[in-house]
């Protein structure tokens, strides 16, 4: 009888263990019976990897900059104000890596005698790695009020900055340009670009320029440009002044170069930003010497992609 009781106990124990395994095995199955829409986490949207200079976060921040324009941005730790053209005839540094921008230029040039030549220039800028910038231009001209407009010129520009911003005084940058004109000799141009910040909200630029005509009279132009600008309203409005001095000569009879003609222009410059990604520059420059045009007016509209 004791033996029978022992057998019954063993059977009961085995049945209990089996029942436990059934319960354990059943739990995962019951846990999977859910509404997927209720349990799955929301998918996070991936941020746009492409930088936009107007909202790039500052880098190497040790305290808040007095102005947003002074913030250091991008791979080269450059001030935000250098990401866009600030002057008409003076360039400063390079644009940040990854930036792409379209600019439209309207440039009426009024000589002391004759009709005004109005240039329409279409430019695309690209910021590349290694402190390199490439610009492509198509340029059209119209003479006078009733002249025919035609695209007759194309240009390629390459810039390279020696170092990241403020590593070298003046932030030197070299600039090379090739200009191809219809029914006229090509031109080459080399510049040394310098620029920096005098104080918070005060910006400067200066260029040393040599331009050479590859055929015909082989005109040479040796130029020095200077621009100074002040922030009137942070990221909205800048006001400044620009100058351009050019010494120009060309080959005369017998292949001898003539005397230099002196051209000097001076005038105000302003930049207005109706949108964070858009800037409008206006610079009416007045010629002050007999060899200068009466005026050159620059109107530039830029839009960052």
Taking Cα atoms as reference points, which of 124, 129, 86 lies closest to residue 104? 124
Asked which of 11-25, 92-106, 251-265 is least confident by mean pLDDT, the reply is: 11-25
Per-residue pLDDT at 258 exceeds 70: yes
Residue 20 counted as domain residue: no
Rounded to the nearest 5 percent, the helix, strand and coil shares of the chain are: 15, 50, 35
Tell me the average pLDDT across 15-21.
42
87 pLDDT band (50/70/90 cuts)? very high
Lowest mean pLDDT among 14-18, 44-48, 141-145, 233-237: 14-18
Q: Is residue 28 part of a domain?
A: no
Average pLDDT, the chain: 87
CATH code of the domain in which 115 resides:
2.40.160.40
6-13 average pLDDT score? 43
59 lies in some domain: no
CA atoms of 97 and 73, how far apart (whole Å): 10
Q: CA geometry: angle at 174 spanning 168 and 179, to 5°?
A: 165
Per-residue model confidence (pLDDT) at position 56:
79
- With a cut of 60, say whether residue 43 has pLDDT above it: no
Structural domain boundaries enclosing 83: 68-304
In the chain, the number of structural domains is 1
Residue 216 lies in a domain: yes
pLDDT attached to residue 71: 93
- Does the residue 274 lie in any domain? yes
Cα–Cα nearest to 166, from 197, 191, 192: 197
Asked if residue 279 lies in contact with residue 84, where contact means CB atoms within 8 angstroms, the answer is: yes
pTM over 0.85: no
């Amino acid at each position: 009888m004791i033996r029978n009781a022992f057998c019954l106990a063993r059977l009961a124990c085995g049945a209990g263990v089996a029942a436990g395994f059934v319960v354990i095995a059943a739990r995962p199955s019951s846990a999977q019976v859910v509404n997927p829409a209720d349990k799955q986490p929301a998918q996070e949207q991936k941020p746009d990897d492409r930088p936009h200079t107007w909202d790039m976060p500052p880098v190497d921040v040790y305290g808040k900059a007095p102005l947003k324009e002074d913030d250091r941005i991008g791979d080269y730790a450059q001030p935000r104000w250098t990401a866009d053209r600030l002057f008409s005839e003076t360039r400063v540094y390079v644009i940040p890596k990854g930036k792409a921008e379209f600019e439209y230029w309207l440039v009426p040039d009024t000589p002391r005698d004759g009709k005004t030549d109005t240039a329409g220039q279409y430019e695309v800028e690209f910021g590349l790695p290694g402190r390199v910038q490439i610009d492509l231009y198509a340029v059209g001209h119209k003479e006078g009020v009733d002249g025919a407009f035609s695209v007759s010129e194309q240009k390629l520009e390459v810039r390279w900055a020696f170092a990241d911003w403020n590593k070298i005084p003046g932030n030197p940058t070299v600039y090379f340009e090739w200009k191809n004109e219809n029914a006229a000799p090509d031109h080459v141009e080399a510049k040394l670009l310098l620029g920096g910040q005098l104080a918070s909200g005060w910006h400067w630029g200066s260029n040393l320029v040599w331009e050479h005509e590859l055929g015909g009279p082989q005109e040479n132009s040796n130029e020095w440009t200077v621009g100074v600008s002040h922030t009137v309203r942070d990221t909205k409005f800048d006001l400044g002044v620009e100058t351009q001095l050019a010494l120009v000569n060309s080959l005369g009879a017998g292949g001898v170069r003539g005397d230099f003609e002196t051209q000097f222009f001076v005038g105000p410059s302003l930049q207005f930003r109706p949108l964070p990604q858009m800037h409008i520059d206006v610079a009416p420059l007045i010629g002050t010497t007999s060899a200068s045009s009466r005026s050159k007016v620059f109107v530039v509209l830029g839009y960052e992609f």
